[in-house]
Amino acid sequence: MKLKQLESLLGGLQQFPNPKMELEQYPTGPHIASRMLYTAENSFGDVSGKVVADFGCGCGTLGLAAALLDAEHVIGLDIDSQSLEIASLNAEDLELDIDLVQCDIRNLGWRGQTVNTVVMNPPFGTRKKGADMDFLFVALKIASQAVYSLHKTTTRDHVKRIASRDFSASSAEVLCELRFDVPQLYKFHKKREVDIAVDLWRFVPQRNH
């Protein structure tokens, strides 16, 4: 599938009608989502034929992108039932199969090494401090092959240090820096649109964990 086609399909997905501020809900735009998964597959072979989990899947954008790029099995996890319902509808619209689980990522009990790749656009931790690293911690425990994640560029050194030193990632690489537009979703946003510099990371979990 061509990148433009992927981006276009993702652009047609339904998103949060009433995003919940306390969960830092906002859509992962089709531009970023398509590039993220395209890179994961074409540069690293982490998607096609693999089991992919989307942590904090929201309306399912990243997970569905993985399915469109021929992931063998996709699992979407999110704490919010309304988002999961939308994710379910989106999957139906695209005639794709994705397993959904409602859970708090910090309390997720997961057994075995069945997930190859985790893709995620986790909360940045602006509402619930440390949420971004909570997600990364669990992702590195569960993924057997790779974790793709978005984190604010301002946290780059922090993320690298924690991932390598505390979470024992065997590698932590910034693949590229992106600009994320967070449209004015919440009333307290003063500007119409805010551009946030965001790093796309690829982490490799500790070997034989």
Residue from 119, 101, 118, 126 nearest 23 by CA:
126
Pick between residue 10 and residue 91 the one whose CB is nearest to other proteins.
91
Is residue 10 a contact partner of residue 33, using CB atoms and an 8 Å limit?
yes
| C-alpha separations of 126 from 23, 60, 129, 131, 201 in Å | 10, 22, 6, 8, 19
- Does position 8 interact with other proteins (CB under 8 A)? The reply is no
Residue from 149, 143, 141 nearest 52 by CA:
143
Binding to other proteins (CB under 8 A) within 53-72 occurs at: 72
Pick between residue 47 and residue 84 the one whose CB is nearest to other proteins.
84
Pick between residue 138 and residue 198 the one whose CB is nearest to other proteins.
138
Name the minimum Å distance from CB 27 to other proteins. 20
- Does position 79 interact with other proteins (CB under 8 A)? The reply is yes
Q: How far is the C-alpha of 157 from the C-alpha of 154, rounded, in Å?
A: 8
Is residue 98 a contact partner of residue 78, using CB atoms and an 8 Å limit?
no
- Does position 1 interact with other proteins (CB under 8 A)? The reply is no
Binding mask 97-126 toward other proteins (x if CB under 8 A, else -) reads x-xxxxxx--xxxxxxxxx-----------
In the complex, the residues that contact other proteins under the rule CB under 8 A are 49, 51, 72-73, 79, 81, 84-85, 88, 97, 99-104, 107-115
